[in-house]
Amino acid sequence: MTGKLSAPPDRAHKTAPAQPEDKPKRGARAVDLRIYRAVFNAVMSQRLPPGTRLAEAELCELYQVSRTTVRRALLRLAHDHILELRPNRGAVVASPAPAEAREVFAARRLLERQIVPAVMRNATPADLTRLRQSIAAEHQACHAGDRANWIRLSGEFHLILAELAGNRVLLGFMTELVTRCSLIIALYDSPGSPMCENDEHQRLVSLIEQGLQDEATDLMERHLLKIEARLRLAERTQKLDLAQALSGQDLP
Amino acid sequence: MTGKLSAPPDRAHKTAPAQPEDKPKRGARAVDLRIYRAVFNAVMSQRLPPGTRLAEAELCELYQVSRTTVRRALLRLAHDHILELRPNRGAVVASPAPAEAREVFAARRLLERQIVPAVMRNATPADLTRLRQSIAAEHQACHAGDRANWIRLSGEFHLILAELAGNRVLLGFMTELVTRCSLIIALYDSPGSPMCENDEHQRLVSLIEQGLQDEATDLMERHLLKIEARLRLAERTQKLDLAQALSGQDLP
DNA sequence: GCGCGGAAACTTGTATACGAATCCTGCCCG
DNA sequence: CGGGCAGGATTCGTATACAAGTTTCCGCGC
């Protein structure tokens, strides 16, 4: 853990856009931030698979803090749809159903479709450079075979775009959506699918640079649809799923 | 208080779309829900003006619960941008700056622009009836001079629309946006502005019914812009604001 | 042998206690 | 007379203690 560039969203009860926050300010809030990030990264890297139960006492011992602190971190994680909190029964890693996954992707398409033109109105050459740097980092992780980091960096590219749209509220929504999408991808991506995408991010930046708004918007839409299409989101109910899964085993 | 139809968002760590929740299930979670709603309604009705400090001990005594419970409610309120939590300095009612207000409205326009066509794809006649009923309730509050309820019901109409779009994620975002807009309107609306709008909701439903997509989308956009335009969102810094406010008093 | 209580162990929910930071007041000094 | 500093009071942040709910497992009856 402790990937130094990991970027779990720090929003929530913060109006200011950004803060240094490099070193723990007073050793106060940094603690539950640490728990938040650790769980966040673990879930995203699939070290904590969906459905995993997170007992409070365990985390207490791991991080040497009281249950009060752990609880706050869990509450935030639940609010961001990374965990699910079941009353009196503890927290488990979220496992969004296919229907929910589709809705998350649909919402994301709806937002990003409109972010592209906003970026084109606002972006400076320096911003485009930033986007290209992000793409470079992404490719690097891709070629290194670091799947977890690739998923994260790939999401980060979209977050930079959202930031360039110049609306912090929108950026907050996109942060939540990208996070949830990453979780869904980690959950449902077909195992054998090729990790590297075919430079759609690169092409998108080019289209933005050239001012081709309709083409850029279109590419964004197709890009997101393609990602969703790769997922194994068979729309079966939990019951059928179970029946199907057992159908090959009951005759020895 | 205890307006029986008040609808503070219950989302967050809940995957299920809706629950009865009429009576307190076990007296357990209902308590901090009660605090949440009470503060929510009080802020929206401007009984708690922006900047008001909410001491934890006060709420503890009012609701006869421990600080633990109050704290959780405050955390949720802060996450929904109704309060602002300042470390070691307590919670205050949020007072979004003009710049933030603009961003909230911009984000809302962006989403609702796309919600209209989605509604037109999904809505049944029964849904349109629901919308018209909501409008009726809104007009009633309007004519009764109940400004606080009118703001709330007026927002509820938009939430029904979001619900009819058939995407729960989107509905969650819209819930947050409508809430924040209500707070902003309560903050910045010009005092003398007429409370009743000129039946734009009614016309919107008609256009949706007739299948005139472009016209409906356009009306929605203009509707939201009109609301924003009515606000007193002078882009002045806090300092200038103060200087201006005192300029009429220092020469007796 | 199988299913069904029931009690113990464990986990979560809530309240309370204590340490730390902030705010307020009054005093001292320039 | 005004500004700054120190001490007390208040309020927040964290840890701990106790109560209530859930899970587990064992023993009993069928």
Tell me, yes or no, whether B123 and B226 share the same domain: yes
Q: Tell me the average pLDDT across B147-164.
A: 92
- Is-contact B20 B55, C-beta < 8 A? no
Which residue in this structure is represented by tokens 């723990």? A24
CB contact under 8 A, A79 and B168: no
The answer to whether residue A222 scores a pLDDT higher than 70 is yes
The answer to whether residue B232 scores a pLDDT higher than 50 is yes
The dihedrals phi and psi of B24, each to the nearest 5 degrees, come to -55, 125
DSSP labels, B136-163: HHHHHHHHTT-HHHHHHHHHHHHHHHHH
User: Would you say residue A248 lies in a domain?
Assistant: no
Where a domain ends, among A59, A94, A129? A94
User: Would you say residue A252 lies in a domain?
Assistant: no
Tell me, yes or no, whether B71 and B109 share the same domain: no
Where a domain ends, among B48, B74, B93? B93
CA to C1' distance (Å), from B82 to C23: 24
User: Would you say residue A235 lies in a domain?
Assistant: no
DSSP labels, A27-90: SSTHHHHHHHHHHHHHHHTTSS-TT-EE-HHHHHHHHT--HHHHHHHHHHHHHTTSEEEETTTE
In chain B, what is the straight-line distance between the N-terminal and C-terminal CA atoms, in Å? Answer: 42
Q: Is B177 exposed, middle or buried (0-12, 13-18, 19+ CB in 10 A)?
A: buried
Tell me, yes or no, whether A121 and A61 share the same domain: no
User: Would you say residue A239 lies in a domain?
Assistant: no
Tell me, yes or no, whether B105 and B145 share the same domain: yes
Max avg pLDDT among A66-70, A238-242, B242-246: A66-70
Tell me, yes or no, whether A41 and A138 share the same domain: no
Tell me, yes or no, whether B135 and B213 share the same domain: yes
Q: What percent of chain B has pLDDT over 70?
A: 79
CB contact under 8 A, B103 and A173: no
User: pLDDT value at position B147?
Assistant: 81
The domain tally of chain A equals 2
User: Would you say residue B16 lies in a domain?
Assistant: no
Query: Which residues of chain B between 111 and 150 are close to nucleic strand C, CB under 7 A?
Result: none
Q: What is the pLDDT of residues B172-218, one digit of tens each?
A: 999 999 999 999 988 888 776 666 667 899 999 999 999 999 999 99
The answer to whether residue B26 scores a pLDDT higher than 60 is no
The answer to whether residue A178 scores a pLDDT higher than 60 is yes
Q: In what order do the strands lie in the sheet with A83-86?
A: A53-54, A90-93, A83-86
Tell me, yes or no, whether B148 and B222 share the same domain: yes
Tell me, yes or no, whether B130 and B226 share the same domain: yes
- Is-contact A190 A230, C-beta < 8 A? yes
**Contact residues on chain A for B114, CB-CB shorter than 8 A:** 110, 113-114
Q: Which candidate, A47, A129, A100, A120, places its Cα nearest to that of A233? A: A100
Tokens of A143: 């070629």
Q: Which residues of B191-220 are buried (b: 16+ CB within 10 A; e: fewer)?
A: eeeeeebeebbbebbbbbeeeeeebbbebb
Q: Find the closest chain B residue to A79 by CA distance.
A: B12
Nearest nucleotide by C1' from B66 CA?
C15
User: pLDDT value at position A245?
Assistant: 57
User: pLDDT value at position B145?
Assistant: 83
User: Would you say residue A40 lies in a domain?
Assistant: yes
Tell me, yes or no, whether A36 and A144 share the same domain: no
Q: Tell me the average pLDDT across A69-81.
A: 96
Tell me, yes or no, whether A127 and A158 share the same domain: yes
Query: Helices A98-122 and B98-122, interaxial angle, to 10°?
Result: 130
Domain with A209 in it? 98-230
Q: Strand D closer than 7 Å to the CB of A66? A: yes
Q: Which candidate, A173, A247, A189, places its Cα nearest to that of A44? A: A189
**Where would I find the beta strands (DSSP E) of chain B?**
53-54, 83-86, 90-93
Cβ partners under 8 Å of residue A94, min gap 6: A43, A50, A81, A82, A83, A84, A183
Tokens of B140: 């009633």
User: pLDDT value at position B9?
Assistant: 42
Residue-averaged pLDDT of chain B: 83
Where a domain ends, among B93, B109, B135? B93
| Of the partner residues A107, A168, A169, the one whose CB lies closest to the CB of residue B169 | A107
